[in-house]
Structures are given as C-alpha cells and as structure tokens.
Amino acid sequence: MVMNLNFRYKELIEIVEKQSPFNPDITLILGSGLGNFAKSISIKKTFSTNDLPGYPPSTIIGHEGKMHFAEYAGKKLLIFQGRIHLYEGYKIWECILPVFISYKLHTKYLLLTNAAGGVNKNFSPGNFMIANSFNGLFIKNELTKLIGIASLEGKNNFLKLPSSTLNSLIKKAAYEENIDLKEGVYWYIKGPSYETPAEINMIKKFNGDATGMSTVHEAVYAAYNGIETAAISCITNLAAGISPVKLSHEEVTSTARLAEKKLEILLKHTITLIE
C-alpha cells in the first residue's frame, strides 16, 4: 500500500502553511553534529517539531528537532536541524517528512548535509564530499512503497539527481573559499549500527566513496518531485575496518563539530551563488 501523505499530514501541513512566514527558496537539512549552521544566520521563525502533529520525535543525540525559517543573502531558507532515520524504527514516509513539508511550501532547491564514513582511501576525517551519485539499492523496496507507480514526469525528474546546477555552484563556492571538496558516491546503509569491516569491503569493491544512513531517500523523493537537490557529506571518520580505532557516535559528532565552521562557510557561499 502506498501512503497518502496529503491525508496523513493534513493537519501538520495546514499549521505550517498558516504559520510559516514565507515559502522558502532553499531547504537545508543538517546532519549529525552539523546543526549549528542554524545559529549563524538570521532566524525569522522556529517551530519545535514536537509541536507539529504527527512529526516523529528525534531519538538521537545531536538531532535537535527544530525547523527554522531564516534569511541569508536575500534568499528565503527553511532549515531542518535534525532529521529522521529508518534505523530509529521510523517508516520511510516519516523519514521524508522534512522534504514533504518543503515540497508543500514550494521550495526550489534542497541542500542535504550528512556525517558519513570515508571509504575512499584518499579521504580523511574532516574532508567534505559532494555526491556525484547515490547508491540506494538497499531501500528500493521502501522507496517503491513511498512513491508507488512512478509518473513519467517524476521518473524524468529523478534522472536529474544530483542537480548539476547545485553541484557546480557548490564546487565554485568551495574553490572560491579554498575548501578542499572531494567528489564521490554516497552509499546508503540502513543501519541500525555502523557497518562491519566486511560490509565496507563490499562497498569499496563497488566503488562507493562514503557511507551513511540517511540522505538517499530524501534526495530521491525530492528529485522525483522536481526539487533541485544536492548533498554534501562531512567525512567524520574512516569507515569500519579502514580505521584502526573502533567507531563511535562521539567520534562522528566531535569531528563534525570541528568541521562545522568550514561547512557553514561553504553553505553560505553556495546560497549566495544560487540565483
């Protein structure tokens, strides 16, 4: 059965449509340990997602459950500080709620950020990677339940993922800010825990560059609905088996915190470049 999101989130959308100060040009979803961007710009209005009927409560440290309307460089922004993951036990239609809200508010662009494990041997913790493609084979079943029979327009939209416009602006911004930006394939893993060394070996063999437990379903759903979408990963750790130390959520969030200022510069410059 395909979930009818308009029906399921009717009340939530009515509240957001009524109370939001504007329709955003750009939506940002901030990943683990990367939420402070929201504190660096002028916020017009904040919703606590706990106050929105049907919005899934965040269960993870570092994901705040806030939705901000903000302005920067003359652009209207919608910023999700905290996201929803399948590994928290949520359904796919709950995980893409930030994208659905953005879609209902007619956002044009979506910038996704995430913390990810580095699989490519040339990556180091603290690097940023722009996704030039995504591997979402492990959530095709869920995506089918979300989208149902894809329309021709949706299928054509999906082929534009990631947005070449956004990706070239992010690269330009990184170049102009002297930020070392890697490029590669973001590989989705469902979780609930970090990968095993054996799983990382497989991802490496199939040319994955970074691995994480978010982003791909948001990106697919957004692109399908005609939103120009791109993703930036903060490589917070070397993936399991590549790193001699055991992975932990603390390592992920502390590296993300260290890299956050640079991400803020990159995002702000990119936003300035968007027409």
What is the sign of the dihedral through the CA atoms of 210, 84, 138 and 228? negative
Nearer Cβ to ligand HPA (135/211): 211
In the DSSP assignment, the letter for residue 151 is P
Could you say which of 38, 77, 78, 116 contacts ligand HPA (CB under 6 A)?
Answer: 116
Query: Taking CB under 6 A as the criterion, which residues in 92-111 touch ligand HPA?
Result: none
Tell me the closest approach of the beta carbon of residue 249 to ligand HPA, in angstroms: 8
Q: Of 72-80, 147-155, 158-166, 235-243, which segment contacts ligand HPA by CB under 6 A?
A: 235-243
Nearer Cβ to ligand HPA (132/243): 243
Give the separation between CA 212 and CA 139, rounded to whole angstroms.
Answer: 13
Neighbours of 136 (CB within 10 A): 17
Please say whether the beta carbons of 214 and 242 come within 8 A. no
Binding of ligand HPA by 236 (CB under 6 A): yes
Binding of ligand HPA by 115 (CB under 6 A): yes
In the DSSP assignment, the letter for residue 50 is G
Please say whether the beta carbons of 209 and 120 come within 8 A. yes
Nearer Cβ to ligand HPA (27/211): 211
Q: Of 87-95, 151-159, 178-186, 188-196, which segment contacts ligand HPA by CB under 6 A?
A: 188-196
Q: What is the 3-state secondary structure (H, E, C) of 160-224?
A: CCCCHHHHHHHHHHHHHCCCCEEEEEEEECCCCCCCCHHHHHHHHHCCCCEEECCCHHHHHHHHH
Binding of ligand HPA by 194 (CB under 6 A): yes
Place of tokens 């979408």: 229
Binding of ligand HPA by 216 (CB under 6 A): no
Nearer Cβ to ligand HPA (71/199): 199
Residues at the contact surface with ligand HPA, assessed by CB under 6 A: 115-117, 189, 194-195, 211-213, 236-237, 239, 247, 252
